[in-house]
Structure 1
Amino acid sequence: MNQRSLPPLGSTLLSAVVLALLSSLLVAFSVSPADAVKPRNDHAKMPRSCVARADLIPQDPTVCRLTAFKEQRPTVLLWGDSHAWQMIPGLKKAAGKTDVNLVAIVMGGCPPMDNQLSPGQAAPKCYQSNDLALDYLSGILDAEQGHRVLLAASWQRYRQAIKDKDRTYTGQMARASRKATPRLMQTLASMGAEVDVVGQVATVPEKRKSCSKGNSPYSCNVARKKALADSVGTKRYLKNTMAPLASDARLIDVNPYFCEGKVCHGKVGKTHTWWDDLHISASMSRKVRGYLKPTIKDADASRPAAPDGEPGCTLPIPILC
């Protein structure tokens, strides 16, 4: 053997030591995926087929399949405005490998409503989106494959817009929701829909002291009474509005994960609570997945049973069951 083809033993040992030291340093200073996300980019993301590249949330009524869709399995329908959109990362994390479809019909500034549109009636895109959601839900119920509806919105924002006589688009939708959201709950109940509702999620108030660290100004703590203005009134409103729904309908509160006592934390560990002043970060959305798991579990359990009492067939070709 040509000895010159082999490196000297001392050189080999030195190289091994250097590699070991480099590996140790890389491990010691490694950055987790959550920490690697820049706060300004840490927002919910939807499939490109659902939203234009320049947008974060659909600008037109859209049925968005968040996961691979299978006709024979239960569906969770996420429905609402950008406060529904912000829950997408958490909902996907909560679902994991559970055998359910995740579908979103969301639009910014568009609370869930039954606007009672007539066929071909000209109406704001928000009304059209809500009408699309009702039609889609009707199809799910007709298919009898099991389901759960998850409604979410910035409820307090719309209530405040009504009080302020807001003349903007938000105010217009808020005034429409005054009757159309309670009507939706009655409609869902009459359809036999199984529904959960995400309550108001903490936001950053417009008037706040400057925050000099981190994802300024959203990494600072916020007084709970400001982050959740009129929380008692909003909770009462939601409970009254949800009254027509089935007794197992949940009002989901994700705020305890990052709010306690008199404060809502801008960061929990290394996770930023907010992405902007109105929405929690995608990382925080994933952290609160535990609050959404019962919705996933109930959807999965809602699949119809076969005549012998066993779970219904979920194969695409029934003869194979």
Structure 2
Amino acid sequence: MIQLSWNHRWVDLHQFHTLFSHRRGPAGTSPVPTAERARHPELLEVGRGFVPDPRTSPCGRLPMTALAPTRPSTVAPDARTPLATLRRHRPDIEGLRAVAVLLVVLFHAGVPGIPGGFVGVDVFFVISGYLITGHLLTELQAHGRIRLGAFYARRARRLLPLATVVIVAMLLVYQAAASVLETRTVALDALWTALFAMNVNLAMKGVDYQANQDPSPFNHFWSLGVEEQFYLLWPALLLVGFVLVARRLRTPGAQQLALAGLVGLVAAGSFVWTLDQMVKAPAQSYFLLPTRAWELAVGGLVALAAPWLARRGSLQNGLLALAGLGLVGLAATQYSEATVFPGAAALLPVLGTAAVLAGGLTGDHAVQRFALGTRPMTAIGRWSYGWYLWHWGPLVLCATLLGRDLTVQEGLLLAAVTLTLAAATFSAIETPFRSRLVFVRRPRSGLLLGAGCVGLSVVLALSVLQTLGPATGDPSRQAAVVAVDSGRVDVLSVAATGPVPGNLSPSLDDAGRDAPDLAAADGQSCHARIVSPELSENGTGTCVSGGTENGSRTVMLLGDSHAHQWLPALQEIAPTRDWRLINLTKGACPLYDVQLVNNQLQRDYTECYDWRTKVWERVAAERPAMIVVSAAIFSEREGDFAARWSTGVDTTLARLQSTGATIVMIADTPFPRKDIPKCLAAHLSDAQSCAFSVDAGQSDPQRRAATTAAAQRAGVTVVDPTAWFCGPTDCPAVLGNALVYRDNSHVSTVYARQVAPLLAAVLPAL
């Protein structure tokens, strides 16, 4: 039994000695038998060290060990040359990873000059498609099949150990340093991240104007979710295409051509779908696999066309790679967050990356020797996966704890710290799990490792959620409801200056759900979503949202979400005055006739214009006795927007006056510039610390003043609610027992109802 065991061990060592032999066969090929290469496709001879095959990297940003490789061998492929005989070690790909991660990290750190640094993610996508497709194609051509268990085991051991460490670290740090509300949000995001679906989570809430838009320390995992979903589907697609079509062809070149046709169809279909979804569902088009698949497929096309591209010597002299690098740089410096993306604009970084990959198939060139293949670039490339995972969380956490945006210097300092952390975890975590023989030789071990990593993240996130208590104030302190005295509120006397009251309403835990009632009398929502041009959910609702159905007077509330926040107050008033109250509001869409670029849609806000047309038709049909309008003015706008805004206000108010209705304009409420519930949850012992100055709350004061002046010129009744929210110098976060704001700009429904008598006192009689 002992002899058998040692014999078995000797056979294993002998096989690995053969696999790692330093001798090469003719034409630069490896002497390793085909059967051994097939058993261990991730292992590759490089100089005196052993590194994973670059084409087996599970995603373009995964670093690989570079152990002083000898000069890479080159081949002169002919039409029948399979991908397996092309240049295998690609220092230029390591450097390209470095370019990608540098763009993303420096962009997030706020470094000027690269407003389009987010295109680094697209570079990663193309590299991933190239590497994974190349590996799968080699296995298909050698054996006519794909060992899915081994494939997913490699992905698991390369991706999941470090990702799990990052998830666990962020959860523990937030639990120790952040508020209950912040930690609860982070724990929920950790669940999505652990289940490879952070991109789905962001897509589902990305178009919700009412949702809290504060960043999560796991937001950047959306791109990893896209790639992990790609890994689940791509092997099956290539296998089906090979079995049904390509295997019937005789030569590797013909097989690759057939698969290239299939991948080309996927790329074209995904790209066309992206262009369509950019208009209909922009958040989905940014975050989800179907609209990002074409980028990964482009990388796959380069892998499938590699033998043909390698025979074109004019493409391998460095000029194509230089041009591709220039396209990536052009996108990084000329694009910005206002660029419509990832539509046609994504072609620039995607095709640029494809050009760099296609230009380095057979040997090194000047771009590799003097740029991409230099030691600093290849080192950063090896650490790129870890740096990408580590860099974002500390940026978000520090900004949260400081209560402000970080400076460029602070961002660069954190980038340097996380690069050091990435280098350390590369040696301590990534390399051991990637190269340890127990995982290399036994796919089941890799799969169990992956399942354990996922399970650990999920269990920890659930346990954090279970242990978090409610975000409550001091139970011994019970504040009174705000008292309205003679049409005014004494802000100074009712402002919370000590601990947050225990009877705060709404509670901090419920604040995010404290939106005005969206349903009309017939149950349909009449606060239109951003992507909808309709007045109600299906365009046929009555939108009667308060008062009596047959009231003696019809009153209409028109505008964006800062008009909608006054619906609870008007609903309190309407029954007492026998009104028929109609709510027609739409997220981020003021009634004023101004052309808008919606930040979430990243394009001209056409849904808003269509909605306005329907509003005017409804106004004409209803002939209301009074129209109440309001709009958010909470960010300074550059260029001629202020002038166009004033013109639009003048035009709209004149049109409203022509209806014969009494027109009331409610000036915009003070703008906190921070999420009030989260601030209070972090400062439960001192509610006053979440107050903000009157001056800070008057965002874009010139446009606010111009809007009020235009209304006064038009003879419109103007209601300025600032005195209901602020004292002489400060605007408190808590008044009486009321939480004043439910997020970073919208008034809570509780406080809107409490000040309803104040609004009623200044509304004209009908």
Provide TM-score, normalisation by structure 1.
Answer: 0.64
Correspondent of 1:245 among 711, 714, 722: 714
> One-letter code of the match for 1:237?
A
Q: Which residue of structure 2 lines up, in the alignment, with residue 221 of structure 1?
A: 691
1:246-296: CA deviation from partner (whole Å, max 9, x where unpaired) = 4xx321122212200110000001111110101111111112212321476
Correspondent of 1:44 among 494, 500, 516: 516
* Match status 1:271 vs 2:753: no
Q: Percent same amino acid at aligned positions? A: 18
Deviation at 1:69, TM superposition (A): 5.3
Within 5 Å, which residues of 2 pair with 1:5-84?
34=505, 38-47=510-519, 49-51=523-525, 59-62=532-535, 64-67=543-546, 70-71=549-550, 73-84=552-563
Take 2:613 and 2:686, find their aligned partners in 1: how far apart are those partners?
39
* Match status 1:97 vs 2:566: no
**Would you say the 8 A contact 1:195–1:245 is kept in 2?**
no
Long gaps (5+) in structure 2: 1-477, 479-501, 537-542, 596-603
Q: Which residue of structure 2 lines up, in the alignment, with residue 258 of structure 1?
A: 725
**Would you say the 8 A contact 1:76–1:103 is kept in 2?**
yes
**Would you say the 8 A contact 1:114–1:187 is kept in 2?**
no
**Would you say the 8 A contact 1:221–1:265 is kept in 2?**
yes
> One-letter code of the match for 2:725?
F
> One-letter code of the match for 2:736?
G
Take 2:578 and 2:663, find their aligned partners in 1: how far apart are those partners?
19
Q: Which residue of structure 2 lines up, in the alignment, with residue 184 of structure 1?
A: 652
**Would you say the 8 A contact 2:625–2:662 is kept in 1?**
yes
Deviation at 1:88, TM superposition (A): 1.0
Take 1:133 and 1:290, find their aligned partners in 2: how far apart are those partners?
28
Within 5 Å, which residues of 2 pair with 1:76-155?
76-114=555-593, 124-141=606-623, 147-155=625-633
**Would you say the 8 A contact 2:551–2:578 is kept in 1?**
no
Worse overlay, 266-275 or 187-196? 187-196
1:207-226: CA deviation from partner (whole Å, max 9, x where unpaired) = 99965235999982111111
Correspondent of 1:236 among 693, 697, 705: 705
SS of 1:102's partner is strand
Distance 1:32 1:207, change over 3 A: closer
Worse overlay, 90-99 or 251-260? 90-99
Take 1:276 and 1:186, find their aligned partners in 2: how far apart are those partners?
33
* Match status 1:291 vs 2:758: yes
Q: Which residue of structure 1 lines up, in the alignment, with residue 669 of structure 2?
A: 201
Q: Greater CA radius of gyration, 1 or 2?
A: 2
> One-letter code of the match for 1:155?
I
Take 1:100 and 1:138, find their aligned partners in 2: how far apart are those partners?
18
Query: Larger % of strand: which?
Result: 1
1:64-110: CA deviation from partner (whole Å, max 9, x where unpaired) = 22026535621111000010111111111122432111111111111
Take 1:52 and 1:138, find their aligned partners in 2: how far apart are those partners?
18
Q: Which residue of structure 1 lines up, in the alignment, with residue 637 of structure 2?
A: 161
CA RMSD of aligned residues (A): 3.8
Deviation at 1:234, TM superposition (A): 4.0
Distance 1:192 1:139, change over 3 A: same
SS of 1:97's partner is helix
Q: Which residue of structure 2 lines up, in the alignment, with residue 315 of structure 1?
A: none
**Would you say the 8 A contact 1:86–1:282 is kept in 2?**
yes
Query: Larger % of helix: which?
Result: 2
Take 2:657 and 2:651, find their aligned partners in 1: how far apart are those partners?
10
Take 2:577 and 2:516, find their aligned partners in 1: how far apart are those partners?
21
Q: Which residue of structure 1 lines up, in the alignment, with residue 311 of structure 2?
A: none
Deviation at 1:193, TM superposition (A): 2.7
Worse overlay, 274-283 or 214-223? 214-223
**Would you say the 8 A contact 2:628–2:666 is kept in 1?**
yes
Q: Which residue of structure 2 lines up, in the alignment, with residue 25 of structure 1?
A: none
Worse overlay, 203-212 or 34-43? 203-212
In the TM superposition, structure 1's runs of 4+ consecutive aligned residues that sit over 6 Å from their partners are 55-58, 215-219
> One-letter code of the match for 1:93?
E
Deviation at 1:42, TM superposition (A): 2.1
Take 1:254 and 1:57, find their aligned partners in 2: how far apart are those partners?
26
Take 2:519 and 2:763, find their aligned partners in 1: how far apart are those partners?
20
Take 2:567 and 2:711, find their aligned partners in 1: how far apart are those partners?
22
1:2-40: CA deviation from partner (whole Å, max 9, x where unpaired) = xxxxxxxxxxxxxxxxxxxxxxxxxx9xx9794568223
> One-letter code of the match for 2:534?
P
Provide TM-score, normalisation by structure 2.
Answer: 0.29
Distance 1:71 1:154, change over 3 A: same
1:156-184: CA deviation from partner (whole Å, max 9, x where unpaired) = 43xx2245x8xxxxx8xx88644322211
> One-letter code of the match for 2:525?
V
**Would you say the 8 A contact 1:115–1:130 is kept in 2?**
no
Take 2:534 and 2:654, find their aligned partners in 1: how far apart are those partners?
23
> One-letter code of the match for 2:515?
H
Deviation at 1:114, TM superposition (A): 3.9
Q: Which residue of structure 1 lines up, in the alignment, with residue 401 of structure 2?
A: none
Distance 1:285 1:207, change over 3 A: closer
**Would you say the 8 A contact 1:105–1:129 is kept in 2?**
no
SS of 2:626's partner is strand
Take 1:236 and 1:194, find their aligned partners in 2: how far apart are those partners?
22
Distance 1:111 1:239, change over 3 A: same
SS of 1:105's partner is strand
Take 1:241 and 1:45, find their aligned partners in 2: how far apart are those partners?
31
Q: Which residue of structure 1 lines up, in the alignment, with residue 299 of structure 2?
A: none
Take 1:213 and 1:296, find their aligned partners in 2: how far apart are those partners?
37
Worse overlay, 182-191 or 83-92? 182-191
Take 1:207 and 1:38, find their aligned partners in 2: how far apart are those partners?
14
- Give the number of aligned pairs: 247
> One-letter code of the match for 1:47?
A
> One-letter code of the match for 1:204?
P
